[in-house]
Amino acid sequence: MTLATLNTLITKKEALALIEFAIAQSQADGIFVSLSASETALSRFSENQISQNVRKNTFSLTATSYFGKRSASASTTELDKNAIAQTVKRAEDLASIAPEDPEWVELLPSQTYSDRTPAFDRATATLSPLKKGEIIQQVCSLSKDAGVNGSGTLSTQVSLNAIGNSAGLRGCDRTTEADFSFTARIDNGSSWNRCTAWSIDQLPIIELTEKVIQRAITSCNPQTIEPGDYTVIFEPWAFASLFLWVIWNLDARAADEGRSFMSRSDDSGKPIGNKVGEQLFNPIIQVKRHAAHPLLQGGRFFGNGLSNEDLDIITDGVPQTLSYSRYWAKEQEKEPTGAMYPSPIVMTGSDQTVADLIASTERGILVSRAWYVRYVNPRTLEVTGMTRDGTFLIENGKISHPIKNLRFNQCLPEMLKNVVALSQAKRCGGSVIPGCKVKNFHFSSITDSI
């Protein structure tokens, strides 16, 4: 038997050589080149058996050419140098006839990035389909033995991102990521959880599977309670599904133009700046951008070339900064922050567990997952969504019984005012988020979803 070759990603040296080649082809006033390559392996399982196993390699090089304030971009998915040269020429042809950009900014000069090395785990990058199959077989066997229907995904990804321009900017990082998601269903009970890490060995797959199975069994035969305002304990993933909406709305331009919950207005409704520096949330809310966090160890720069350095976002419940594009930073005489919103986010937790938060609650609701979260009012950041995959009533510091899922309508800045306790933080996708206890969280109706 011959096994397929794994991890065919180009090297950092090869990536930077392609960046140099593309820049050398430029006849424009300036050029910015970005290159991304990834190898993704995904396995799905359902009804306690593996149902799909795919592996995909992707490559993309984009050249943006500039003639004065005119610019245009072209991309290729071919590594061939002739294709890259043609891509640069196509970008120049388009840029020569493009209209001037009223928000043009000059090319970013050479930047100094952190000397740390982003996490790259070779065992994750070279994980074989056979090994993945063995892991999933364990999960499915546990599900079958417990009498539940197990489904989910196990994926790994190795990524490389490189950038460069004719002003001397250069950067290249490579990273790995592993992710496991598991849902267990039995009769009218359901539970879900997920874990993400930069190494496959950091995923507590079997432990997570066993907990989800037990939670699914416990969630059967849910009872009905009346909608209203409740004290709520959010598991970390559930809280992340809500809290990150706040982070996504920390855009300086939207705030300054009166389109955000961070906007300040005069009596006539005219925008007069933003709320940075105001006490908006409970003082226990501490958030920063921290790509070097041990659970993340992500890339050192953003796609536009700006450094992904540490940045205080919320300190003692007070917003410290908003996200400034290079154009808006220049207009407002501020420093640009890199991305459209702060990322990756690390929120400080505590040494308490979610179980500790439950034990401190006389009466409330435990939410395992927030689902289908959508805007109600972007200006006030009111959202709606539903609980899912195991919702429970808490009485006298203990889980009393499962309850039917509920729809919520909640203003998220108000929710952050009402946070009264936090649990230990864990990695949730690309962020580090704790569980939390919130008072006066509003549920508007009952749903029939499981």
Backbone φ and ψ for 433, nearest 5 degrees, come out as: -135, 140
Longest dimension (CA), the chain: 76
At 2, the pLDDT band (50, 70, 90 cuts) reads very low
181-234: per-residue pLDDT in tens? 999 999 999 999 999 999 999 999 999 999 999 999 999 999 999 999 999 999
CA distance 286 to 295: 17
- Same-domain check for residues 227 and 129: no
Which pLDDT does position 3 carry in this prediction? 39
4-31: per-residue pLDDT in tens? 444 568 999 999 999 999 999 999 999 9
263-288: per-residue pLDDT in tens? 999 988 899 999 999 999 999 999 99
SS3 6: coil
Whether 125 is in a domain gets the answer yes
Locus of tokens 């090395």:
117
CA distance 337 to 346: 16
Cβ atoms of 1 and 128 closer than 8 Å: no
Copy the structure tokens of residue 289: 């951008």
Tell me the residue range of the domain where 362 lies: 222-450
Residues in CB range of 365: below 8 A, 6 or more apart: 230, 231, 232, 233, 391, 392, 393, 394, 403, 406, 441, 443
Query: The domain that contains 170 carries what CATH number?
Result: 3.30.2290.10
- Same-domain check for residues 110 and 61: yes
- Same-domain check for residues 48 and 193: yes
Specify the number of domains making up the chain.
2
Whether 258 is in a domain gets the answer yes
CA distance 380 to 377: 6
SS3 434: strand
Residues in CB range of 345: below 8 A, 6 or more apart: 244, 247, 287, 288, 289, 290, 313, 431, 432, 433
- Same-domain check for residues 269 and 372: yes
Cβ atoms of 390 and 216 closer than 8 Å: yes
Residues 4-29 as b or e (16 or more Cβ within 10 Å = b) = eeeeebbeeebbbebbeebbebbebb
Cβ atoms of 186 and 215 closer than 8 Å: no
Whether 1 is in a domain gets the answer no
Distances (CA, A) of 163 to 39, 167, 172, 309, 425: 19, 12, 6, 17, 33
- Same-domain check for residues 167 and 303: no
Copy the structure tokens of residue 282: 């409970």
Give the CB-side neighbour count of residue 310, counting CA atoms within 13 A.
Answer: 10
User: What pTM does this model have?
Assistant: 0.95
- Same-domain check for residues 188 and 110: yes
Q: Which of 158, 182, 212 is the last residue of a domain?
A: 212
CA distance 231 to 226: 14
Locus of tokens 């140099």:
20
Q: Which of 155, 190, 212 is the last residue of a domain?
A: 212
Cβ atoms of 139 and 152 closer than 8 Å: yes
Cβ atoms of 165 and 107 closer than 8 Å: yes
> Is the pLDDT score of 340 beyond 90?
no
Q: Which of 158, 192, 212 is the last residue of a domain?
A: 212
- Same-domain check for residues 253 and 132: no
79-129: per-residue pLDDT in tens? 899 999 999 999 999 999 999 999 999 999 999 999 999 999 999 999 999
- Same-domain check for residues 255 and 184: no
Q: Are strands 228-234 and 363-367 parallel, antiparallel or unpaired?
A: parallel
Which pLDDT does position 158 carry in this prediction? 97
CA distance 423 to 439: 15
CA distance 357 to 214: 20
Which pLDDT does position 268 carry in this prediction? 86
- Same-domain check for residues 188 and 242: no
Locus of tokens 């154009």:
327
Which pLDDT does position 341 carry in this prediction? 87
Whether 7 is in a domain gets the answer no
Whether 4 is in a domain gets the answer no
Sign of the torsion angle spanned by Cα atoms 88, 90, 94, 96: positive
Whether 217 is in a domain gets the answer no
Whether 3 is in a domain gets the answer no
Backbone φ and ψ for 61, nearest 5 degrees, come out as: -125, 125
Whether 5 is in a domain gets the answer no
CA distance 312 to 286: 9
- Same-domain check for residues 152 and 239: no
When pLDDT is averaged across residues 364-380 and rounded to a whole number, the result is 97
- Same-domain check for residues 342 and 293: yes
- Same-domain check for residues 278 and 185: no
Sign of the torsion angle spanned by Cα atoms 162, 163, 169, 175: negative
Copy the structure tokens of residue 318: 């007070």
Copy the structure tokens of residue 159: 């990524």
